[in-house]
Amino acid sequence: MARLFQENRLVIASHNPGKLREIAELLAPFDVEVVSAGDLGISEPEETGLTFRANAELKARHSAEASGLPALADDSGLAVTALNGDPGIYSARWAGPSKDFQMAMRKVEKGLSGKTDRSAHFVCALALAWPDGHVEIFEGTVDGTLVWPPRGEKGFGYDAMFQPTGQTLTYGEIEPADKHATSHRAAAFGQLVDNCFRI
């Protein structure tokens, strides 16, 4: 049985403003004070894990140990079928030091040149770590198709080129509330809430 989160303050182990905003919105119903690792002056650890789960755990443990508070970390990315799952855990790194996701999307599109399979999925692993070393990890995915050119400016990362299965709009075009209901992060978050939170 998973450990319940019973504290009233939680560190979000991320320096990504889009990700911070999305997680804070998902946590809004739980009366939890959310603070970012960046606001606490906690550095970003080197992501040496080979899976989303491993990197999420690494980041959550790092922030929990540094802050003395429970910490929630997300490791997520785009896995493109025709690119053998790339960019995968390297999704952010494809955007370079300046986090240029327009460049990263062009790199994905270039890789798909001449390929007919444009299927992909977003993966999100969420790790909730406590300062005593206990960790709970949950993973969610959402399937879709990659479109070109990118459409919409409401999301972040690769959202503007990702059209979820059964939808006509990309994650860059739909309202954030609608994305929260269907995304890979929402799927992982639903498991986290079901197991570790009580309203």
Q: Which amino acid is at 82?
A: A
Cα angle 100, 111, 107; round to 5: 10
Q: How far is CA 92 from CA 98, 105, 120, 166, in A?
A: 10, 11, 16, 26
**Among candidate residues 85, 174, 169, the one with its CA nearest the CA of residue 122:** 85
Distance CA 101, CA 123 (A): 17
The SS3 assignment for 70 reads coil
Cis peptide before 149 (omega within 30 of 0): yes
75 in catalytic set:
yes
Residue tagged active-site, from 39, 74, 75, 194: 75
Token pair for 195 = 């197991």
Residues with catalytic function: 75
